[in-house]
Every structure is written in C-alpha cells, then in structure tokens.
Amino acid sequence: MKHRITTHQHLAVAGMALAFTITAPAWAASESLLYVKPPETAAAVLAPSGQRLALIVSNPQSRQALSVMDVPLNRPPRILQSYAEANVLQASWINDQRLVVRVAVTGPEVPLDGVALIAIDQDGGNERLLTSWRAWTHIPGTHMKSRVLTYGWDLLSTVEDGSADILVKERGGQDKQRLGRLDTLTGELRRLGDDVTFRAVQWVFDRAGDMPALRVRQQGRDRIVVKDSEASEWRTVWERPTADPDMPSPLALENGHELLVATRSGGDTEGLFVLDTRNGRLDPEPVLRVARYDVGPALVDRQTGKAVGASLVTDRPTSVWFSERLATAQRDLDAALPGRFNQIRCTACETSRFLVVHSSSDREAGEFLLYDTEQKKLVQIGRERPGIDPATQGRRTLHWITARDKLALPVVVTHPAGVSEKAALPTVVLVHDGPWERGSDRRWHAEAQFLAARGWRVLQPEFRGSTGFGRRHLEGGAGKLGEAALDDLADAVAWAAGQGLTDPQRVCIAGTGFGGTAALLAPVRSPGVYRCAAAMAPFTDLRTLDEETWFATSAKAPPRPFQELLGDAAARSAASPIVHAKAMKWPILLAGGDLDHQASPRDLDRLEEAATQAGAAVERIHYDEAHGFTSPANHADFLDRLAAFIDRALKP
C-alpha cells in the first residue's frame, strides 16, 4: 500500500439539502450487492472546534476514502486519503488541524504494510506513517531504525490538549501492556507508565492524557487504583477476583474523587454508579439503571472529561442525557425526525454549535446529518445506502417471549414489506455469531432485510449467552451452549407459529461463525423443526478449539472463563456438529473461506463428507476468504446462493 495523498479530487455539491453525492461504484449493480457493499457514507466526525467535518465515503472503486469539508457545508469536500485496494476504516481528530487515520488493504490476508495508522493535516500536509504491519523497525541495508511503530502498536486515544500527540498501546496479552504518547509530527514515542499501568486492562484519561484511574489485573485479582496527584503513588480503592461479575469498570473521574463506573452491583443488569475514591465506597443509588437492558458506555465530553450522558441498546439505540443542552437537542431532533432512531455523535458536546446526527430506522439503513443548535437547522451529509428504497424494506419488531424454562428471551422479527403480518409465512431463523455478543435490534439489518425481500419472515432470537440483557441471560447458557441456546431457537419458532407468523412446516435456519455452528446443530437437537440448515464459517469441532483461536478476532474479552462457558470435554463434544454428522438427513449449505484460520476448511470438508455419507444433500461453497467476508462480491454471491438454497428447500 502506498501512503500517498490523492489530490485535486472533489465531490460534486448538490445543494444545501444534500451536501454531496458519490460517484457510483465501478462494479456492476446487483440487488444483493446493494445490501453488503461498503456504505456510501460510513462516518462523519466533527473537529474539536466544530468548524470541520471528517467523512469516510465510498470512492469510485467502492473503497472507503477520507474526505474533509468545512462547516457550514457550503464548499465541496477535499479528498485526503483514497486508495484503489485499501479502505479507510477510522478517522479521529487529533486537534483542529490534524487527523489520525486507520487504513487497511482489502483482502483475506494482511500483506506487509497492509494495515497502518497515518496522521495527516486537514489540508493534506504533514502526512506521516505512524504504525505499519511489520514486525521490525530496522531499515534494511543500514544500522538505522525507523520511527514507524510495528504492528503491535495501535491507537488508544487522542489527547485534548491542542498538541499533535496521540496515546498508543502495544497490543498483546493482558499480562502486561505498554502505553506511549506519540508525536504524530515527528514520530517520537515517549513511553508512559510503570509496572502498575503495564498491567492495566482499562484506563481513564483526562484531557491532557494523564491517567488518574486504572483497572489493573494481576494473579487472578482485579483492582481499581487511583492517583490523587501526578506526584502521588497509586492506591487501591476496590479489589475483587477477576471473575467477579460485579467488578466495576472505570469510565470517568469527576470532581477529583467521583469515579463513574459500570457495574451490576449485585443486580442483574449493568448500570452506572459512582465510586468515591476517598473511601472506596460505591453509592448504592445508581446514576442510571434499566430493567432488562445493560447500560453502557458512558458518553464523555472530551473537552471537559465529564460524562454528559449514557448510551444503551433497547429495541433501538438510546441515549440518556445528563446534560440539559443535549437532552433538549435530542427532543428537537426526535420531533424533526419522527419514527427514526436519532443518535447524537459529538466530542465537544457541551460547547460545539454543530452536532453530527446519525438517523436510521428499521427500513432506513442510516443517514448522517449536521444539526445547527443555534438555527435549529438540519442539513443532510449523506446516506449509507441510497440505492435501497426504504419503502421496499420490511418492518422490524422486537418481542419478549418465554422460553421453556421461563427465561425471558428477546426475538427480533423482520416482516416482508407489503405482506400481512397475520399471515403464516415460510420462515428463516437467522442466528447471530458469538455467542458472547449482542445480535440485533430494530435497526435495519442487511441479511434479514435481504431475506425478507424474498417473502420470508425472519426471526433473530437473542439466545442465552447474548450480551446486553443482564447477567441471567448472559450466563444462562454457560457450559451448555449445545443445549440451552439451541432450545431457545426452537422456542422462538414455536412462539412465532403460535402467533400465526410462521408456517411451522417451512422453516430454515442459517448463521455465521457460532451462528453457523448452531444452525448445523439445531435440526439435530430439535428434529422436525427445520427443513434445512445453512452455515457460513461454522466451528464444526469444538473439541479441538482453543481460547486463542476462538477469540482471535474478538475485540472484547470473554465475560466468563473460556472453559467455563463452553463446558467440559463432554459438553464440547455434544456441541460439535462433526459428532452428529450421521444424524443429518436434511439439505445443508456449507460455506467457508479456504484461508480461514479459525473455522478450519479441513473440518468443513470432514463434515461435508460425513453428512453426505449419512444421506444429507450438502451444497459446499469455497471462498478465497479468511474468517468472514472481506470481498463484497463474495458476500453478495453467498446471499444469492443462500436465497436459492432456501427457496428450493422451502417450496411447498
């Protein structure tokens, strides 16, 4: 990848109501591709002063490019980073003049220099490569060392002190993690911290980049430690075993001693509480706690360091504002955009005249708008998927049902557009990856809407082990994922049939990753419930799976120890599709990447052979991919093949 600026490229202005348009992608249009190609506008981030806007947009090669435009939006944006074979994944303002950008070459495997952090001024000057996908810093043929950091280093946070510095962290295990303050103009790295900070797993930074509070982990214990001043020593204000589910996570320090933390505090759902660092006491009265849903994260004003609100996902993304200014803005936006899920995105939240708003719904994938708080005016920046007409998309509803053991389960249903919601339709159960992830809510969902557009009702159960719904729901499947979670899926089908939504004789199940594993196991666990099963990149043999492989692509540590969650050897064997291959007599679609290092293609081949010998009709698809899709064309191809497979299997 060449780290060069593409200059003199401008996007056409289309009036104040629509800030700009993007050139259509080079590839041929197809319906499935509209659902999975990169968004035409993927991000919009205001500079600290609110006078500039950084955008991630789709370029003519349908790669993600970086552009900057002035606020108000009366001039066309400037393209700063644009590549034919790489995507700009993230952009953050370092100060009002300078950005730090994460870039990655597209493809299933990362080539040399294929992932990088780059700093660049808003006018295109002073571009500097900060990190690169290399394991060394020496310059070949010399005795010199480059200041470009190796792939182990990544962006941790920006610093709100007006400097050109950022905070970086060396990625690796949680035994020790090195931190540094990096000058993005010179590439000079200053190491931060001591033996205590090296063992931190969570940090609270003030606007100057100092660390007044940490959560550290050592020898099976977690501690919250604080510094009363830069010259003082760390002192412990809270300590618990690492596996304690009530261990607080520090979020922000206010008034010198009020540490805002996220914790369950003996309850079921996670809420926000205040920990007094003077005496180590947790206020029993929560700042915010909600029944059924975990709260988090806190929304912090980067200029003041104070929490101005909190976000959570109920049936939709929701913001609860502690700031009256932002609460008023939220009310105004919701009145101006009724029926939408309107999220304010800000850094200098209390002082900026302008706010970025992401507005979406169950039928609208999303659009970015700029809100002028003084003139009470909204201007559209760009839509994510302008090629999809919201009128053609299905309504999405969330329902709480009761599982066979009385646990409350959320289920999201996508109803095909133009079809009666009282009609019993052929149905697809779409299982999310994880298991320790949040699956879905009422926001527009690409795969669910794609399938619903073909006339199928789509069920997305939040089976136990899903995150965001409290401790009982999260831990309900621990050690028995091959049983309880699969029963949840069958209970969702039974509920939908009882409500007259689903034809119980015409149900197929599909999923990716763990969702694919569950899709393969579900017909074995619940005979007669499903006509067919489709799996993309499933784990087919959990007996050989280790923690490093399972969480290789996860950005979040598991909430419980790996062995405890998956169970003992007998439980892992029972949850392995390969063990049950001889029982598989139904149509199976089995897809995976030939470069997948998590879900082994050899294991998929073994399952294909064993299930075929047992009498199953197996359709096997190979992709030049790793774990998941990096190519939109491959993803679209899979959706087309999945739809054709389901159509054949569910014919009356």
Given 191, 219, 237, the domain boundary residue is 191
Boundary residue ending a domain (315, 342, 359): 315
Residue 95's nearest CA partner among 44, 49, 155, 53 is: 49
* Mean pLDDT score, 304-324: 96
3-state SS class at 459? strand
Q: State pLDDT tens for residues 137-163.
A: 766 666 667 899 998 899 999 998 999
Alpha carbons 565 and 179: distance in angstroms, whole number: 31
Task: Flag whether 74 is in a domain.
Answer: yes
**What would the pLDDT profile of 249-275 be if each residue is shown by its tens digit?**
999 999 999 999 999 998 999 999 999
For 495-509, give the DSSP string: HHHHTTSEEEEEEEE
Please report where in the chains the tokens 């200041």 appear, as a residue.
147
Query: Do the domain assignments include residue 323?
Result: no
Encode 279-318: b = buried (16+ Cβ within 10 Å), e = exposed: eeebeeebbbbbeebbbbebbbbbbbbbbbbbbbbebbbb
Residue 329 lies in a domain: no
- Answer yes or no: are the C-beta atoms of 244 and 222 closer than 8 Å: yes
* pLDDT reported for residue 109: 84
Q: What is the pTM of this model?
A: 0.91
User: Are residues 163 and 264 both part of a single domain?
Assistant: no
Is 489 in the same domain as 608? yes
Contact 240, 261 (CB under 8 A): no
Q: Hey, what amino acid is at 137?
A: T
Q: Do the beta carbons of residue 350 and residue 325 sit within 8 Å?
A: yes
> How many domains is the chain partitioned into structurally?
3
CATH assignment of the domain containing 415? 3.40.50.1820
Q: Give me the torsion for CA of 490, 494, 499, 502, rounded to 10°.
A: 70
What pLDDT score was predicted for residue 3?
26
Domain range for 85: 1-191
Indicate the residue among 315, 338, 364 that finishes a domain. Answer: 315
Burial of 133: CB neighbours in 10 Å, binned 0-12, 13-18, 19+: middle
In this structure, is residue 571 part of a structural domain? yes
Is residue 54, in this structure, part of any structural domain at all?
Answer: yes
Residues 583-636: tens digit of each pLDDT: 999 999 999 999 998 899 999 999 999 999 999 999 999 999 999 999 999 999
Q: Which residues pair with 226 in a beta bridge?
A: 213, 235
One domain, residues 217 and 187: no
For Cα atoms 624, 629, 630, give the angle at the middle one, nearest 5 degrees.
85
pLDDT band for position 242 (50/70/90)?
confident
The conformation of residue 11, written as its DSSP 8-state character, comes to: P
Return the closest-CA partner of residue 451 out of 430, 481, 431, 472. 430
Q: How confident is the model at residue 171 (pLDDT cuts 50, 70, 90)?
A: confident
Residues whose CB falls within 8 Å of the CB of residue 60, separated by 6 or more in sequence, listed in order: 23, 24, 25, 26
Specify if 104 maps to a domain.
Answer: yes
Query: Which residues is 191 bridged to in the sheet?
Result: 180
Residues 481, 589 within the same domain: yes
Q: What CATH number is given to the structural domain containing 182?
A: 2.40.128
Is 490 a member of any domain?
yes
Assess if residue 387 is contained within a domain: no
Q: Are residues 473 and 505 in the same domain?
A: yes
